[in-house]
Amino acid sequence: MISKSRTAKFFALAATGSLLFSGCASGSENPEASGDKTTTITWWHNSNNGEGKAYYEKVAKDFEAAHKGVDIEVHAMQHEDMLTKLDAAFQSGDTPDVYMERGGGELAAHVAAGLTKDLSDSASDELKFLGDTAGGWQIDGKTYALPYSLGAAGFWYNKALFKKAGVEKAPETWQDLLDASDKLKKAGITPISVGAGDKWPAAHYWYYAAVRECAEQTLSNAVSNLDFSDQCFVKAGDDVTQLIDAEPFNPGFLSTPAQSGPTSASGLLATGKVAMELAGHWEPGVMQGLTEDGKGLGEDTGWFSFPAIEGGQGDPKAQLGGGDAWAVAQNAPDEAVEFAKYMVSEKVQRGFAELDMGLPANPEAKDAVADPALASMLDVRDKAPYFQLYFDTAFGASVGGAMNDQIALLFAGKSEAQKIVDASQDAADLEK
């Protein structure tokens, strides 16, 4: 009797086990692939809400309709989620067929590990009209991803508060910025919010100062040879120190997050608690999400380019920024490349621009950008003599992380200009 029930239990266990395993197996296989000749493309993107998500679903449907036998599996994810999942996917080697690459050192590492497809030949037509903008995704003369959104960082400001403090025109030089900050403080307004708790928003100040201080050649040499010996990098730290000493930042900026919640750096700007913030092209969208009426600063939203720094060797019109590009996994089918190409076509990019999902990289789609502040930034971006990728992206996570940590320490008054350069160089030497 006892042994009988025991056997029964064993079989029950075994049955559950086999059920579990078969469940896993059928999950990973594609049931349609065995039937007719359907090619499935997995696509990960980060437009996970509202119109953007619906638009991307439509884009996938359109592509399926035009290409018989292609099935696109769309995965819309929250941005940070997607990055985490992508990291896990790269670790396991099971990457999605079409995914987002931010270029620079990150991409270089993926290419070195043989995870990303070379698109130089298969997308040669697209690369012609994308032109210089694809530069951030090129390694040794080969292009590995097609940029679809490219934005510069700059100061987003509250026009009403500037007016109230008597700041008539947007600052053009470093001294202008310091003066504006003084005037705002006298009017009882906190001049600038910075999310130094997340480190990178603080680091953007140093990056931009370095772009102003360093000649183009010095920057490109730093990116390709990981060499920070030029004195201009130390000067950048001195400039930032000068700004920090003027105390323009929101109280508690050392623990302020960048974008989450109404007391974040973006939240403070969106709710009129501070006058300006240095941020990328995503800022209007973020601010809209942080206000009750969903309008952000609305008509008071203004944008000005990072001010010129006197005596700097960089072109004052050069821009620092970043972008997103579609990359194709090394082992993906050819249809995936077609899909990436379709994604940067004029048709798809126009719809992308009309919904303010970003700043389109395809020049034919530029006039479709609806938001006036974004449109003005687009002008600045396209008139820039050169475009520097955010340093933490350009140098890769390891060097960028060391750099950001040290810049955050500078903001806390616990570091100095030379130490930022030393820490970056030390981390870079470990990469060589």
Partner 1 sequence: MILAVAQEVSYVSNSVGNDTASEQLRQPRPDKVQSQQAVGRRRKPADKRKTLEILFFISPALILIAVFMLLPIIQAIRFSVYNWKGFGPLVDFVGLKNYARVLQNEVFTDAMIHNLIIIGGSIALQLPIGLGIALLLNRKMKIQSLLRTIIFVPYVLSEVIAGVIWFQLLQPQYGVVDTIMSKLGIQGPAQGWLGTPELALWTVLAVLTWKYLGLAVILFLAGLQGVPSELYEAAEIDGASWWQIQRKITIPLLGPTLRTWGFLSMIGSLQLFDMVWILTGGGPANSTTTMASFLVSEGTKRQNFGVAAAASVVLFIVALILAISYQQFVLKRDSQPDEDRTKSKKVKV
Furthest C-alpha separation in the chain: 94
**Distances, alpha carbon 235 to alpha carbons 128, 231, 311, 319, 369, in Å:** 38, 7, 10, 18, 37
Q: How far is the CB of 10 from partner 1 (least distance, A)?
A: 9
Where does this chain touch partner 1 (CB under 8 A) — which range of 20-28, 133-141, 233-241, 404-412?
404-412
* 321 contacts 153 by C-beta, under 8 angstroms: yes
- With contact defined as beta carbons under 8 Å apart, do 393 and 360 qualify? no
Regarding 199 and contact with partner 1 (CB under 8 A), the answer is yes
Element (H, E) at 426: helix 417-431
Near partner 1 in 80-99, by CB under 8 A: 84, 87, 90-91, 93
H helical segments located in 67-99: 79-92
Burial 139-153 (b: 16+ CB within 10 A, else e): beeebbbbbbbbbbb
- DSSP secondary structure string, 46-68? S--SHHHHHHHHHHHHHHHHHST
294 binds partner 1 (CB under 8 A): no
User: Does residue 380 interact with partner 1 by CB under 8 A?
Assistant: no
In the set 14, 217, 412, 429, which binds partner 1 (CB under 8 A)? Answer: 412
Under rule CB under 8 A, which residues in 115-144 are in contact with partner 1?
115
Yes or no: say if 102 and 324 are a contact pair by the CB < 8 Å rule: yes
Burial class (CB in 10 A: 0-12, 13-18, 19+), 432: exposed
Question: Which CB, 256 or 319, lies closer to partner 1?
Answer: 256
Which segment (151-159, 226-234, 338-346, 394-402) binds partner 1 by CB under 8 A? Answer: 394-402
Q: Which 233-252 positions form the footprint of partner 1 (CB under 8 A)?
A: 251-252
Nearer CB in complex with partner 1: 144/306: 144
Q: How far is the CB of 173 from partner 1 (least distance, A)?
A: 29
User: Alpha-carbon distance 187 to 277, whole Å?
Assistant: 18
Compute CA distances 146 → 102, 124, 134, 328, whole Å.
10, 10, 7, 9
- Find the part of the chain contacting partner 1 (CB under 8 A) among 214-222, 254-262, 300-308, 357-365: 254-262
Structure tokens at 399: 């060097």
Verify binding: residue 197, partner 1, rule CB under 8 A.
Answer: yes
Tokens encoding 121? 């030949």
* Per-residue x/- track, 37-66, partner 1 (CB under 8 A): ------------------------------
- Contacting residue, 39, 42, 46, 256, with partner 1 by CB under 8 A: 256
Q: Which of 139, 143, 148 lies closest to 121 in space, CA to CA? A: 143
19 binds partner 1 per the rule CB under 8 A: no
Out of 203, 236, 357, 402, point to the residue binding partner 1 (CB under 8 A): 402
Nearer to partner 1, 178 or 254 (CB): 254
Q: Is residue 110 a contact residue for partner 1 (CB under 8 A)?
A: yes
* Half-sphere exposure (Cβ direction) of 344: Cα atoms closer than 13 Å: 31
Q: Which two tokens stand for residue 381?
A: 């971006």
401 binds partner 1 (CB under 8 A): yes
160, 215, 254, 355: which one contacts partner 1 (CB under 8 A)?
Answer: 254
Instruction: Confirm or reject binding of residue 336 to partner 1 (CB under 8 A).
Output: no
Could you tell me how many helices (H) and strands (E) the chain has, helices first? 19, 12
**What six digits make up the tokens of 367?**
């006039």
- Taking CB under 8 A as the rule, does residue 198 contact partner 1? yes
Report if residue 255 touches partner 1, rule: CB under 8 A.
yes
Q: Of 202 and 234, which has the nearer Cβ to partner 1?
A: 202
Q: Which is nearer to partner 1, 14 or 54 (CB)?
A: 14
Nearest-approach distance from CB 418 to partner 1, in angstroms: 16
User: Which parts of this chain interact with partner 1 (CB under 8 A)?
Assistant: 84, 87, 90-91, 93, 109-110, 112-115, 196-199, 251-256, 261, 263, 396-398, 400-402, 405, 408-409, 412-414, 430
